[in-house]
Amino acid sequence: MLPRGGTRTGVQLDIINNLLRPAPDANGARVVEDNETQRLLFSWRKGVAPQTELGVFVPLLARNGGILDAPIDAYHRLWSMEGSGLDNPQGREAFPNGESILFYRNPDGQGVNAGSALGLGDVSLTIKRELSRSRRAALAVRAGAKLPTGSAGKLLGSGGFDFGLMLDGRYQLGREWIAYGNFGGVLLGDAGNLPGAEKYSVQGLLALEYRKSNRDSYFFQIDANSRVLTPGHSFADGAPVSATLGYKRVLDSRRILAVSFSENGDYHNYRAPVLGNIGPDFTLTLGLEWRR
């Protein structure tokens, strides 16, 4: 929680590789997601009162064929990984590299078919209030709204207002270990251009941070949410669950660098039972934050 008058400004680059091409369902539903998304996220947070901070998050999005397909193929060959499973039974090598497809069709024949796009995403506003704090633990509540600033026609935004409420918790396990958790829900606005869009989503996260020193720390987290879109496909309608490994470095009194790698369960031939095996195949993240 930022003190009154304190600010943090950040810029974060996410490179998101998406591959979801399960076999068509017997009911006729079909899903083909094969693209790469680059997201440049600008963030600003400020302590505006005791135990209260505001936040603004502005994303710029690009969806295209990307540059990671060939390195991923080489990685699979190096480790003799098939790269096939329920999410993509034919394997990566069955399709050309650099495709940009975002397609689904539900059992009623409704759906979307989109290619590459570039533009502003949906801007988010948040307010966070600390509820309690002790020497070892802290609890806060966070409310937020997502504005429909991204183009719904290009699938860079949902086209509706979303409102969410979440509890954030922290507990000091020892001098070097800290546990984090949050849980909440989002009321999803009208997304009439997306057949199968849900009205709400439940979200949660558990994380563990190891602070090696005052400047270096490592973290591991598991996050999950219920579907915000259900195309009616028995596999693709599953809940997205992913794992993240990350590293943070305090560069100086004002700057913090963070890098992380997130996976949806594909690290061992698509057979991680706890993770979702849907959603982004993996995400590479690089972020820099300034504080004062």
Q: Give the domain CATH number at 231.
A: 2.40.160.40
| Res 233 pLDDT > 60 | yes
Domains contained in the chain, number: 1
Please give the average per-residue pLDDT across 208-222, as a whole number: 96
Q: Assess contact for 104 and 112: CB atoms under 8 A.
A: yes
Asked if residue 204 belongs to a domain, the reply is yes
| Res 242 pLDDT > 80 | yes
Parent domain of 266? 7-291
State residue 269's pLDDT score. 47
Distance (Å, whole) CA 175 – CA 212: 10
Tell which wins on pLDDT, 100 or 274.
100
Asked if residue 2 belongs to a domain, the reply is no
Q: How confident is the model at residue 280 (pLDDT cuts 50, 70, 90)?
A: confident
Tell which wins on pLDDT, 1 or 253.
253
Bridging pattern class, strands 52-64 and 200-211 = unpaired
Query: Encoding tokens for residue 292?
Result: 């004062």
Distance (Å, whole) CA 247 – CA 181: 18
Asked if residue 1 belongs to a domain, the reply is no
State residue 79's pLDDT score. 61
State residue 193's pLDDT score. 84
Q: How confident is the model at residue 130 (pLDDT cuts 50, 70, 90)?
A: very high
Asked if residue 184 belongs to a domain, the reply is yes
Maximum Cα interatomic distance, the chain, rounded to a whole number of Å: 58
Q: Assess contact for 64 and 83: CB atoms under 8 A.
A: no
280 DSSP β-pair partners: none
Please give the average per-residue pLDDT across 212-216, as a whole number: 95
Task: State what percent of residues in the chain have pLDDT above 70.
Answer: 92
**In sequence order, what DSSP letters do the residues of 234-280 get, joined into one string?**
TTTTSPPEEEEEEEEEE-SSSEEEEEEEEESSGGGTT--SSS-S-S-
**What is the per-residue pLDDT across 161-191, written as a single tens digit (0 to 9) for each?**
999 999 999 999 999 999 999 999 999 999 8
Q: How confident is the model at residue 33 (pLDDT cuts 50, 70, 90)?
A: very high
Tell which wins on pLDDT, 271 or 59.
59
Tell which wins on pLDDT, 90 or 9.
9
Q: pTM higher than 0.75, yes or no? A: yes
Asked if residue 67 belongs to a domain, the reply is yes
Query: Encoding tokens for residue 223?
Result: 């996050």
| Res 275 pLDDT > 90 | no
Q: Which helix (H) or strand (E) holds 15?
A: strand 7-20
